[in-house]
Amino acid sequence: MATNSASSAAAPTASGVPDPWAPAPFVVRARRQETSDIATLELSPARGAAPFAFRPGQFNMLYAFGIGEAAISISGDDTQSERLVHTVRIAGRVSRALYDAAPGTVLGVRGPYGRGWPVAEAEGHDVVLVAGGLGLPPLRPVLYRILADRAKFDRVEVIYGSRTPPDLVYYDEIQRWRARTDLRFQTTVDKAGREWYGDVGVVTTRLPDARFEPSRTIAMLCGPEIMMRLTAEALEARGVSPDAIWVSMERNMKCAVGLCGHCQFGPAFVCRNGPVFRYSEIRPFLAVREV
């Protein structure tokens, strides 16, 4: 974690206290096209704004000036806090504006917000990361942290599912991860033609091949809710405790500080109490049709 950084991107008020509503200006330094509707932006502080520390799993509110704000997970390395990385998929007007942001564009940033992944708790354990679709970006900082301090973790299994091969994000980086011998990275897609020699099927079809000792495993899941629920059930069936399974929830977040209630999920606010939850905490609510 960088030491010369602020604790928040929020601009200070006259009293010097950070104003949680005021976005700090960050400039887009680089933009990488990931898929036809997903791009990764690299941001750095602009006009006196300061870099800030964050934890894997946290998110920022990104503001496209004049259009609106959206909650986007931080997908970069938390040891490089001066370089803020976000991967954005087009879902509406705001995300479209963020996706379109070219190098030089100034965006507003509020954050970081939320509870992150239990990386420290996972030290000394086997680690299973399961991502579906745009669930990989919020888990990538965990992988960076593990690989930076590989000896502190035992076996590491990553399973990443996507719709089709062209929908896989971080493609070049995945090839490097797959080439490593201290990590097992499986990719699978829902649908493919003959050009694809990888796996086809939902992520749970790859779990039987995953090597981990259930009683000493920490699992972190991020993706569509039904994918996380079925994966958690499959992990439990192999003997992983529901207390050792963590999921990242997604809800419509507006204020990001637990005031507006848009992201209420059962008794919790996803922005403040999550987005990362222990599976055992929220399991009762995952099967409820309208929460």
Phi, psi of 175, deg, nearest 5: -60, -40
Closest CB 194 distance from other proteins, rounded Å: 5
Return the residue of 44, 80, 105, 205 that touches other proteins, per CB under 8 A.
Answer: 205
Residue 150, C-beta contacts closer than 8 angstroms, at least 6 positions apart? 156, 182
Closest CB 153 distance from other proteins, rounded Å: 26
209 binds other proteins (CB under 8 A): yes
204 binds other proteins (CB under 8 A): yes
237 binds other proteins (CB under 8 A): no
In this structure, how many other beta carbons lie within 10 angstroms of the beta carbon of residue 253?
25
Closest CB 135 distance from other proteins, rounded Å: 9
Cα–Cα dist 90/75, whole Å: 16
Residue 121 vs 209, nearer CB to other proteins: 209
Tokens encoding 93: 């007007």
Cα–Cα dist 104/87, whole Å: 17
Residue count of the chain, please give it: 291
161 binds other proteins (CB under 8 A): yes
227 binds other proteins (CB under 8 A): yes
Residue 51 vs 132, nearer CB to other proteins: 132
Q: How many CA atoms lie within 13 A of 21 on its CB side?
A: 3
166 binds other proteins (CB under 8 A): no
R_g of the chain, CA atoms, integer Å: 19
Binding footprint of other proteins, residue count (CB under 8 A)? 29
Closest listed residue to residue 191, CA positions, set 163, 220, 155:
163
Tokens encoding 7: 């604790």
Closest CB 237 distance from other proteins, rounded Å: 12
Closest CB 229 distance from other proteins, rounded Å: 11
Cα–Cα dist 150/145, whole Å: 8
Contacts with other proteins in 174-203 (CB under 8 A)? Answer: 188, 190-194, 196-202
Residue 154 vs 190, nearer CB to other proteins: 190
In this structure, how many other beta carbons lie within 10 angstroms of the beta carbon of residue 16?
6
287 binds other proteins (CB under 8 A): no
Closest CB 190 distance from other proteins, rounded Å: 4
Measured at the CA of 58, the angle between CA 31 and CA 12, to 5 degrees, comes to: 85
Cis before 275 (ω within 30): yes
Residue 224 vs 242, nearer CB to other proteins: 224
Q: Which residues bind other proteins (CB under 8 A)?
A: 132-134, 161-163, 167, 188, 190-194, 196-202, 204-205, 208-209, 223-224, 226-227, 230
